[in-house]
Amino acid sequence: MIDIDLKIDLDTANGKREAHYKLHIDSDEFVTLFGKSGAGKTTLLRLIAGLERPKSGHIIVNDEVWFNDKINLPPQKRGVGFVFQDYALFPTMSVKNNILYGCKSDEQKKSLDKLLALMELENLTNSYPHQLSGGQKQRVALARALIGEPRILLLDEPLSALDSDMREKLQSELLAIHTEFKIPAILVSHDVAETIKLSDRVAMIEDGAIIKCDTPINIFGVNSGLYGEVILIEEDRLTLLVGSFIVSMNVDDSSKYQTGDVIKLTCSLQSVC
């Protein structure tokens, strides 16, 4: 069980305010953080990992305190596997050495062959990041995060730069990995279809606060409305990515929106491409 109750000052799309994150995660749960760009999703991942320090609150993982008013465990002692959006691979290291960099003991190195097989990287162990495709880089980053036997897996939009076919394939692999390793996972995503496919629960974040946490069906069901990501802004029109569909809709004031914003569709759709 992971118990999070944290406060931190945050620069949001609506100005500076005090963010307050409250979230409980079961030991084998897959939770997705969903919301507009700048809402504070990645900040929450960084707080959990120990890469940022909150003003107050606590993080308790299986009865061990990671943060409170007296304790602040450094990142290397938290046992977190973090997969960044840009993968953060070392360009001068081979695939094998990039993965082994995540090891904390000789015992963990014994799982290298298993991870290489699971990620389909056996034939790429001596390759370097510049020789890999986006999907292969993502697999290396995942393997590096998992080889250290993390207690939590944090995923910051790791599939956002991939084409749709590779993205769907790696979504299935993420599910298989989560089932195989049985560790809690927290994903940041803007993609509704991806979120529904992967998540046990979805935490909706607005301006640094979790306003709702529920199952994907209850969040994105028919009675809850649809969500889309803004991909093009014109004078009086927005183009949105809604799942795998491109949707165009009229708006009164397009200046209120930014590319990457995730908005709830409460108006009628004007056209579907």
> 149: which residues sit within 8 A by CB, 6+ positions away?
79, 108, 111
Q: Which residue has the tokens 């940022």?
A: 52
Q: Give the pLDDT score at 242.
A: 73
Backbone angles phi, psi at 198, to 5 degrees: -95, -30
**Which tokens belong to 272?**
């579907």
Cβ–Cβ contacts within 10 Å for residue 241, how many?
18
Each residue of 162-216: pLDDT tens digit? 777 778 888 888 888 888 888 999 999 888 888 888 999 999 998 889 999 999 8
Task: Provide the sign of the torsion angle of the four alpha carbons 89, 91, 92, 93, taken in this order.
Answer: positive
Cβ–Cβ contacts within 10 Å for residue 92, how many?
9
Query: Is 9 strand, coil or helix?
Result: strand
Helix 164-181 × helix 134-147 angle, to 10° = 10
Shortest CA distance to 205 belongs to which of 60, 14, 61, 57? 14
**Which tokens belong to 156?**
């910051």
243: pLDDT confidence band, cut at 50, 70 and 90?
Answer: low
Q: What is the CATH class of 2-220?
A: alpha beta
DSSP state of 177: H
pTM score of the predicted model: 0.80
Each residue of 68-116: pLDDT tens digit? 999 999 999 999 999 988 888 999 999 999 999 988 888 888 889 989 9
User: Using H for helix, E for strand and C for coil, what is the string for 188-202?
Assistant: ECCCHHHHHHHCCEE
Domain chopping of the chain, boundaries: 2-220, 225-272
